[in-house]
Amino acid sequence: GPAPFGSERDEDGRLRPIAAEARIIDRIVSMKAKGLSLRGVAAKLNAEGVTMRGREWSAQQVLLVLRRAQAAK
């Protein structure tokens, strides 16, 4: 399947980080830590024109990114 946001698959199928997406993930974690709701984070990213691989953010997508970021710790 497709690589999760923040990663891409190399020629051997292993996940490799994407720096630009990793910076967005860091921003999402930071905004949530400052008290923004999932919808608030999505709305802020969308208002700034920051997309999730060409699509607008939703609260559900923000939640999935936060869960993956937490699991990676």
pLDDT digits over 28-73, tens only?
A: 999 999 999 999 999 999 999 999 999 999 999 999 999 999 988 7
Judged by DSSP in three states, 72 sits in coil
Q: Residue 51 has what DSSP assignment? A: -
Single-letter code of the amino acid located at 17 = P
* Angle in degrees, CA 69, 43, 6, rounded to 5: 30
For the chain, strand residue ranges (E) read 7-9, 15-17
Q: pTM surpassing 0.75? A: yes
Separation between Cα atoms, residue 26 and residue 13, nearest integer Å: 24
The pLDDT assigned to 14 comes to 95
Burial (CB count <10 Å: 0-12, 13-18, 19+), residue 1? exposed
